[in-house]
Amino acid sequence: MTKKSVNPAPSNESVRLDLHDDSERLKLVIEATGVGIWDWQVQAGILTANDRWAEIIGYTIAELEPLSFDTWANNLHPEDLTQAKDLLEKHWRGESELYQFEARMKHKEGHYVWVFASGKTVEWEESGEPRRMLGTHLDITQRKKDHHQFIMASQLLHESQEIARVGGWELNLETGELYWTDETYRLHDTTPEEFNPTVDAGVGYFLPESRVIISDALNKAVNEGVGYDLELETLTTKGRKIDIRTTCNVTQINGVPVRLTGIFQDISEQKEVQRKLESSNRDLKQANSALQLSAHFDPLTELPNRNLLADRMQQAIVKCARGKRSIAIAFIDLDGFKAINDSYGHSFGDELLRKVATNLYNVLRQGDTLARIGGDEFVAIVSDFETPEDASRPLNRMLDAIARTVDVYGKLLKVSASIGVTFYPQDNTNPDQLLRHADQAMYAAKQLGKNRYHIFDIAHDAAIKSKQEELERLKKALINNEFILYYQPKIDLRSKQVVGLEALIRWNHPDQGILPPNTFLPVIEQDILGIELGEWVIKEAIRQLQTLQAATSSLPISVNISPFQLQHADFGERLGEIIAQNPSFKANSLELEILESSALRDIEQVSRIIKSCNKLGVTFSIDDFGTGYSSLTYLKRLPAEYLKIDQSFVRDMLSDKEDLAIVQGIIELAKAFNLKVIAEGVETPAHGDKLLALGCYFAQGYGIAKPMPASDVIPWLAHWSENAELIDATL
């Protein structure tokens, strides 16, 4: 007030106003504050109000005129009217100096506005009744709204904090005052009445480890303005342990921290779940590594098992490839372990295995591997040799280590071992094969007398393997009908008559074409497949001869029989069966050629077989005579019909005197034993002439005809009957 009178604002308006007039001044105040003014003649029911009074409820005064008590009462919210009346009565009774009331009044637009009414009775009737009241109306709608929203917001905050178990805290750094929200108290099992929070008290409740962390964090917040977000363990005021998350936000003014605010959140449940998860994860991990252990190690000796051995072998091979040195794979099998196990029992056996394994392990170098892959079977990977020969020392050391006497539960026992060894990269194959090869060699070591090592023979194995593969292939060839028979005629040199056909096998290979017998027969000679193939030849020859015989006079056919086949137990029987299966076939048309060979060792047996075949009507020739055993006993004991002079003598007899002598000798011998003689390898007419001169009447050879497919036989026979002339096949 004093200020204003000293320095009156020099506005035009103020000039017109008489500032000494109170009523003028009041008018200004009323306009500035937006207060509605009312003046009520209580007994007369007349109401006077200013524009603002009407404006609060959306009208102009003119619109409301004439104003009365009812203008007010009718616009009041019905619920508020009774209360208003009560308050008025109270005021009039003198119980309140002022009549004051917050009420809702209906706005012109239909909604209610909040009005703060304040009034006072200024004149009284003599009877003591009120005559005139003066008062104000203040529009408090906005304030009411704000307040309501505030209530709502804080209530919501409160509820959500409770639900989330989140409490808030605030620390005023200037005053040191710490403020906790309700939920923060609740989290600490306490109430504002019971507990007065201070920083020291709060920190004091944290568990030791957490206390260090929170103290540090608070220091940093206070001194450096750095906030935090931590998960810690604390006790409540009642000593209950809880996990909490606590955060801190720093408010700074001019770079100086003035206030810390943050939350407290009870995360005990989450932590519990997390801990359970972690612990079950730990259990899982433990179970896993136990599993892994049993997956890779032998429980008895704790040595690597077969699985780990495979890994180690792979590694050793890789390392070997880099270092250009050899590794030895040693397959170790104890000798006589089973007997010990049987006579002393399993626990004895187990202990023996443990002891032997230890002894063996101790003579190996670091970096070598010893694995147990079965009962008494071990495998050692011994690495780093210049040459396989260098391995003899460590191998002998291993044999010695195993053969050492061991004390098993007070009993002195001794075993030995058979070791099979293969070397990589000399034996250039995969771990599986290496192991198999070492195993094979171990078996050989056993057969050679045990307590020794034996080295796998790579070359021998390769040979066996390729033979095995070839046998498989030939087996398939037989099934697939890839074999065929060629036929080569035999003639009587005197008459030029064809006297027979020799069946000669060929392999009609799908890729390589027609293959001669020397390319495949040696592979199967000693195999059961050779016998099967031999039977096939007999059957096929008989079958084809029958179709030929329809067109020709009955030509005998000769079939070559391997010594192995001939001496096979039931050769005679099988031949009988085959012949019986072809009733139209005359057995005396079949001639079997057998090699004069040391393979026909058991002359008694062979002659028995020949005799039994003779009974069927089948005859025999002794093939390649002169190349083999050539004993007179043969000629005497074997009931054959023909001697076949081998082509190697025949071919060169015209130029080689010795060969001629042999041919002559055989012819004489045949005469002496009353055998017919036939020469093979007759390649020119001159051969034929010479043989005839020597008294050999039968011949076979390229000079007459080369072996031919069955389909060529009839055309050839026709041709030969027209022009029976030998040719020179050497040209």
Q: Which residues bind Ca ion (CB under 5 A)?
A: 560, 593, 623-624
248, 683, 694, 726: residue in contact with ligand C2E (rule CB under 6 A) = 683
461, 596, 623, 659: residue in contact with ligand C2E (rule CB under 6 A) = 623
Instruction: State CA 188 to chain mean position distance.
Output: 52
626 binds ligand C2E (CB under 6 A): no
> Judged by CB, which is closer to ligand C2E: 184, or 488?
488
Alpha-carbon distance values, 193 to 1, 182, 186, 196, 200 (Å)? 46, 11, 12, 8, 18
CB of 485 to ligand C2E, least distance (A): 7
CB of 295 to ligand C2E, least distance (A): 56
Residue 537 interaction partner, one of Ca ion, ligand C2E, none, beta carbon < 5-8 Å per kind: ligand C2E
Contact of 682 with 701, CB cutoff 8 Å: yes
Contact of 678 with 642, CB cutoff 8 Å: yes
505, 542, 640, 679: residue in contact with ligand C2E (rule CB under 6 A) = 505
CB of 611 to ligand C2E, least distance (A): 21
Piece of the chain touching ligand C2E by CB under 6 A; list 108-116, 659-667, 675-683, 716-724? 675-683
CB of 326 to ligand C2E, least distance (A): 44
Residues numbered 591-610 forming contacts with ligand C2E, rule: CB under 6 A: 593
Site string for ligand C2E, 67-106 (x = CB under 6 A): ----------------------------------------
> Judged by CB, which is closer to ligand C2E: 450, or 568?
568
> Judged by CB, which is closer to ligand C2E: 244, or 537?
537
Distance CA 117, CA 88 (A): 11
Residue 308 interaction partner, one of ligand C2E, Ca ion, none, beta carbon < 5-8 Å per kind: none
H helix or E strand, kind and range, residue 288: helix 268-296
Distance CA 296, CA 319 (A): 21
Query: For 518, which DSSP code?
Result: G
Contact of 650 with 700, CB cutoff 8 Å: no
CB of 596 to Ca ion, least distance (A): 10
Residue 701 interaction partner, one of ligand C2E, Ca ion, none, beta carbon < 5-8 Å per kind: ligand C2E
Piece of the chain touching ligand C2E by CB under 6 A; list 92-100, 187-195, 401-409, 697-705? 697-705
Nearest to 699 by CA among 718, 666, 726: 726
> Judged by CB, which is closer to ligand C2E: 35, or 640?
640
Contact of 222 with 171, CB cutoff 8 Å: no
Distance CA 495, CA 125 (A): 182
Contact of 420 with 446, CB cutoff 8 Å: no
- What lies within 8 Å, CB to CB, of 367 at 6+ separation is 383, 384
> Judged by CB, which is closer to Ca ion: 265, or 488?
488
**Maximal C-alpha separation, the chain:** 190
Piece of the chain touching ligand C2E by CB under 6 A; list 32-40, 130-138, 390-398, 513-521? 513-521
Distance CA 533, CA 528 (A): 9
Alpha-carbon distance values, 540 to 524, 533, 544, 558 (Å)? 19, 10, 6, 12
CB of 349 to ligand C2E, least distance (A): 54
Distance CA 457, CA 406 (A): 33
CB of 654 to ligand C2E, least distance (A): 13
DSSP assignment string, 89-142:
HHHHTTS-SSEEEEEEEE-TTSSEEEEEEEEEEEEE-TTS-EEEEEEEEEE-HH
> Judged by CB, which is closer to Ca ion: 320, or 559?
559
500, 702, 717, 726: residue in contact with ligand C2E (rule CB under 6 A) = 702
Piece of the chain touching ligand C2E by CB under 6 A; list 136-144, 347-355, 362-370, 698-706? 698-706
628 binds ligand C2E (CB under 6 A): no
> Judged by CB, which is closer to ligand C2E: 431, or 534?
534
- What lies within 8 Å, CB to CB, of 649 at 6+ separation is 626, 659, 662, 663, 666, 681
Piece of the chain touching ligand C2E by CB under 6 A; list 1-9, 439-447, 462-470, 514-522? 514-522
Site string for ligand C2E, 532-561 (x = CB under 6 A): --x--x----------------------xx
Query: For 65, which DSSP code?
Result: P
Distance CA 423, CA 416 (A): 22
User: How many residues interact with ligand C2E (rule CB under 6 A)?
Assistant: 25
CB of 590 to Ca ion, least distance (A): 14
Residues numbered 410-439 forming contacts with ligand C2E, rule: CB under 6 A: none
707 binds ligand C2E (CB under 6 A): yes
Tell me the three-class secondary structure of 653-716, residue by residue.
Answer: CCCCHHHHHHHHHHHHHHHHCCCEEEEECCCCHHHHHHHHHHCCCEEECCCCCCCEEHHHHHHH
562 binds ligand C2E (CB under 6 A): yes
Contact of 122 with 99, CB cutoff 8 Å: no
461 binds ligand C2E (CB under 6 A): no
For 446, the 3-state DSSP assignment is helix
Site string for ligand C2E, 347-386 (x = CB under 6 A): ----------------------------------------
In DSSP terms, 180 is beta-bridged to: 169
701 binds ligand C2E (CB under 6 A): yes
488 binds ligand C2E (CB under 6 A): yes
Pairing of strands 256-266, 513-515: unpaired
Buried b (16+ CB within 10 A) or exposed e, 70-100: ebbeebbeeebeeebeebbeebbeeeeeebe
313, 647, 649, 653: residue in contact with ligand C2E (rule CB under 6 A) = 647
Residues that bind ligand C2E (CB under 6 A): 488, 503-505, 516-518, 521, 534, 537, 560-562, 593, 623-624, 647, 680-683, 700-702, 707
